[in-house]
C-alpha cells in the first residue's frame, strides 16, 4: 500500500506568492474588488480548484466557488473559505492563505481518492476588506443572502458605481440574489486565517482555535472648549480641548486595560485650530472598542462614556460622542470549536482558544451556518502590511490540522 498524499506547505506558499503577483503595483500588493488583478487571481484559483478535482465557477458577485462532491452528488457541504481581495500595500497571507489551504486540503482528498459523507466547497470571496467601495464583506454577504442592494449605488474613488463595475467585470448586478445559499445546504463554514496578532507567537504555538470574532463599537468624539492665546491665558482659566482629549485617551487605556481580551484604541486625533501658539478650542478623536463578548463590550463603552463625562465636567468642556459603527460578536460554534480542538490535539499541540480581534467573512456566513476558525501564527503578529510572514513549518502544521478537521468533520445532528 502506498502512503497517503499529504498537503504540501511548499505548494501553498508558492500559490500565495503567485496570487501576490496579481497586484495593481509591481512592488507592492493591492488587489481590490472587481479589478483586472482580481480577474487574474480568480483565474488562478479556478485553475487550482479544477486541478484538485472540484467543479469551479464564479458566482454572481465574483466569488470563486469550488465544489468537491461527497460520497454521492448533491450532498450538503462543509464550506471552507476566505477572501481574495486585499487592503492597500497588503501582506500576502491575509485571506489568500485560507483559500489556498482549502484548495490544498481538497487536492489531498482527491489525490487519495477520498470521498466524504458530505461535499466540500471552497469559497474565494471577492471582497472582504471593502477597500474599493467602503463596504465590507460583500462576497460573503452575497452568499449568506444578506447583501444590501443599496450598496450597488456606492461609488469608488473614480466615481464609478458598484453596479457599473460589476457590469464591466462581466457580472449582472441584478443577479446577485442568485449567489445566496440556503441554510441546510451549508453544514458549517470553516476558515483558516493568519492570527494577525501576537498571541500564538508569544505562547510558542503554531495554531489556535478561535472562540469568537469580536464585536466592536466605533465612535467619533468631539471636544469643545475655548481657544485662546498660548501666552496670555493663565493655566487655571483654560478650557483646553486637546488636554481634555488627552485625558480621555488615557481613560480608554485604563478602562480597557483592566480586563483580559477587551481592547480600546484611539488611533486618530486632531487639534483645532492647530497652531503652536493657540490653546486648542476643539479636538476630535476616534475610538474603537472590541471584545469577544457583547456584554463585556457594552459595559466597557458605558464606563468610557462615564469617564468622558466626568472629564468634561471637571475641565468645563463639552464632550460629544457620536456612534459611527457597531458589530455584534460572532461566536464560533462550540461544537465546531471542539472538532478543531480535537484535530489540534491529534497533532500533539496544546489547544489554545483565543478570540479574533479582526473581522472576518464568518461574520457574514453566520447568517446561514455555524462558523469555525483555525488561526495560524504569523511573525511578529504583523498583518495588513508587506512584512506579513509565516513559516513553512507552521503552514505545514496548519494544513495538516485543517485536513484532519475536514476528514473527521461530524455535522451536527
Ligand atoms: Zn482576512
Convert the pLDDT of each residue in 336-395 to its tens digit: 999 999 999 999 999 999 999 999 999 999 999 999 999 999 999 899 899 999 999 999
What confidence tens digit (pLDDT) does each residue in 169-185 have? 999 999 999 999 999 99
Distance of CA 375 to the CA centre of its chain: 12
Quote the ligand 1 centre to 19 CA distance (angstroms): 14
CA distance 307 to 300: 10
**Residue with grid cell 445532528, as numbered in its chain:** 413
Nearest to 12 by CA among 194, 188, 200: 194
Task: Note the pLDDT of residue 58.
Answer: 97
Give distance in angstroms: CA of 335 to centre of ligand 1.
23
Question: Residue 277 C-alpha to ligand 1 middle, in angstroms?
Answer: 44
Query: How much distance in Å is there from the Cα of 231 to the middle of ligand 1?
Result: 50
**What are the helix (H) ranges across 52-206?**
96-111, 138-144, 162-169, 199-203
Model pTM score = 0.91
Give the pLDDT of residue 2: 62
Q: How far is the CA of 81 from the centre of ligand 1 (A)?
A: 10
- For residue 60, what is the DSSP state? T
pLDDT at 71: 97
Residue among 354, 361, 287, 294 at smallest CA distance from 324 = 287
Give me ligand 1 centre to Cα 253, in Å: 26
What is the 183 CA–ligand 1 centroid distance (Å)?
A: 24
With a cut of 50, which residues of the chain have pLDDT below it?
none
**Contact predicate 332/375, CB 8 Å:** no
225 CA to centre of ligand 1 in angstroms: 40
Q: Are 163 and 157 in contact (CB under 8 A)?
A: no
Q: How far is the CA of 95 from the centre of ligand 1 (A)?
A: 4
264 with 287: CB under 8 angstroms? yes
Residues 6 or more apart whose CB falls under 8 angstroms from that of 330 comprise: 212, 213, 215, 362, 363, 366, 371
Give residue 83 CA to ligand 1 midpoint distance, Å: 6
Amino acid at each position: 500500500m502506498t502512503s497517503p498524499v499529504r498537503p504540501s506547505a511548499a505548494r501553498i506558499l508558492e500559490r500565495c506568492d503567485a496570487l501576490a503577483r496579481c497586484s495593481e503595483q509591481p512592488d507592492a500588493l493591492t488587489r481590490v474588488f472587481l479589478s483586472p488583478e482580481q480577474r487574474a487571481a480568480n483565474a488562478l484559483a479556478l485553475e487550482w480548484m479544477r486541478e484538485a478535482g472540484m467543479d469551479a465557477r464564479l458566482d454572481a458577485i465574483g466569488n470563486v466557488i469550488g465544489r468537491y462532491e461527497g460520497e454521492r452528488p448533491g450532498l450538503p457541504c462543509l464550506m471552507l473559505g476566505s477572501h481574495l481581495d486585499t487592503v492597500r500595500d497588503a501582506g500576502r497571507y491575509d485571506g489568500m492563505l485560507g483559500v489556498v489551504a482549502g484548495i490544498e486540503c481538497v487536492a489531498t482528498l482527491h489525490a487519495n481518492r477520498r470521498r466524504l459523507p458530505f461535499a466540500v466547497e471552497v469559497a474565494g470571496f471577492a471582497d472582504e476588506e471593502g477597500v474599493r467601495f467602503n463596504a465590507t464583506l460583500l462576497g460573503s454577504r452575497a452568499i449568506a443572502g444578506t447583501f444590501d442592494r443599496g450598496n450597488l449605488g456606492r461609488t469608488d474613488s473614480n466615481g464609478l458605481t458598484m453596479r457599473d463595475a460589476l457590469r464591466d467585470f462581466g457580472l449582472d448586478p441584478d443577479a446577485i440574489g442568485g449567489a445566496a445559499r440556503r441554510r441546510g445546504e451549508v453544514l458549517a463554514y470553516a476558515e483558516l486565517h493568519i492570527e494577525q496578532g501576537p498571541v500564538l507567537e508569544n505562547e510558542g504555538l503554531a495554531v489556535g482555535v478561535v472562540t469568537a470574532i469580536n464585536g466592536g463599537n466605533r465612535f467619533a468624539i468631539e471636544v469643545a472648549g475655548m481657544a485662546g492665546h498660548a501666552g496670555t491665558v493663565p493655566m487655571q482659566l483654560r478650557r483646553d480641548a486637546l488636554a481634555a482629549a488627552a485625558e480621555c485617551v488615557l481613560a480608554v487605556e485604563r478602562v480597557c486595560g483592566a480586563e483580559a481580551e477587551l481592547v480600546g484604541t484611539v488611533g486618530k486625533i486632531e487639534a483645532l485650530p492647530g497652531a503652536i501658539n493657540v490653546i486648542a478650542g476643539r479636538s476630535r478623536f476616534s475610538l474603537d472598542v472590541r471584545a469577544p463578548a457583547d456584554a463585556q463590550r457594552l459595559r466597557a463603552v458605558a464606563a468610557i462614556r462615564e469617564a468622558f463625562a466626568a472629564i468634561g465636567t471637571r475641565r468645563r468642556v463639552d464632550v460629544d460622542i457620536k456612534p459611527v459603527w457597531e458589530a455584534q460578536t460572532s461566536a464560533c460554534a462550540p461544537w465546531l470549536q471542539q472538532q478543531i480542538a480535537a484535530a489540534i490535539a491529534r497533532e500533539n499541540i496544546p489547544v489554545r482558544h483565543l478570540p479574533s480581534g479582526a473581522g472576518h467573512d464568518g461574520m457574514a456566513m453566520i447568517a446561514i451556518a455555524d462558523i469555525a476558525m483555525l488561526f495560524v501564527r504569523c511573525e511578529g503578529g504583523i498583518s495588513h502590511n508587506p512584512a506579513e510572514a509565516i513559516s513553512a513549518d507552521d503552514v505545514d502544521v496548519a494544513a495538516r490540522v485543517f485536513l484532519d478537521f475536514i476528514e473527521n468533520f461530524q455535522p451536527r445532528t
